[in-house]
Amino acid sequence: MAWFDAGINMFDERMPAEQTLSAALAAGVTRLCLITTHPDEWQQAEDYYRQYPDQLCYTLGIHPHNAKVAQPEHFAELRARATQPGVVAIGECGLDYNRDFSPRDVQRQVFSTQLQIAVELNKPVYLHERDAFADQLAILEPVKAQLQGGIAHCFTGNTEQMQAYLALGLHIGITGWVCDDKRGQALREAVLQLPVERLIMETDAPYLYPKDRKPRQRNNAPAYLPHIGHAVAQLKAMAPDRLQEISFNNTEQLFS
């Protein structure tokens, strides 16, 4: 078995495609999901997928930071593109009240529209949330029975929040945040209660470098996913190979 990195930001200039993918393969990370956050990235994601169809899949969505740019034509384009090969989820979508780069009412509207598209097209949702958990949950609750699953991407919350997401039928995306001694304690406690059948591994590269990995690097990369996976396996008292197999299969099943 190999590793499946369920979330990377390939459109960041720190993530050159050929170098990133070759290093990932060398580390045993054979599958990767590209996250899109802005309509400007959708065509590039499709181009990457066509270039590397055996390694890549991708999401289509509008991040809450970019909600302010969303226009009706973008949602029409999203519906049309989302049926193409390689598209596995709608998002990254959700709410972010930490930065407030887009007005909160606009964030909520854009998030709700993307959830409706996911329901219409029977696609999982790829969720972002920061400092907005109550509002995020309130928007998700009315459509939970219609959703085809999804992932709480880059989950950094506590056990109570995790249980709320699990009750919605979601998977939980675990990143290198779990390796941060100072900030990751609540997440480590939550991971102890996380059913392995809902566990998905991701790096969110080039962000969230696992701080316990030496020598320290400036940027995260998919090649470092095995390090994060071994940390999670140790936390859950599992063999790393077993966690590797479970997380890979969970990701394949979620993304169909």
Q: What is the CATH number for 90? A: 3.20.20.140
Domain with 120 in it: 3-255
Q: 125, 230 in Cβ contact below 8 A?
A: no
Say how far apart CA 148 and CA 118 lie, in whole Å: 8
pLDDT per position as a tens digit, 10-68: 999 999 999 999 999 999 999 999 999 999 999 999 999 999 999 999 999 999 999 99
The reply to whether the predicted model has a pTM over 0.95 is yes
- Which residues are part of a known binding site for a divalent metal cation? 92, 128, 153, 204
- Which residues are part of a known binding site? 92, 128, 153, 204
Residue of 233, 223, 255 whose CA lies nearest to 28: 223
Q: 191, 211 in Cβ contact below 8 A?
A: no
Angle value at C-alpha 45, between 48 and 80, nearest 5 degrees: 130
Residue with tokens 């996911």: 118
Secondary structure (3-state) at 202: coil
How many domains are there within the chain?
1
pLDDT per position as a tens digit, 179-224: 998 899 999 999 999 999 999 999 999 999 999 999 888 899 999 9
Residue of 46, 35, 25 whose CA lies nearest to 207: 35
Looking at residue 56, what is its pLDDT?
98
Say how far apart CA 160 and CA 173 lie, in whole Å: 16
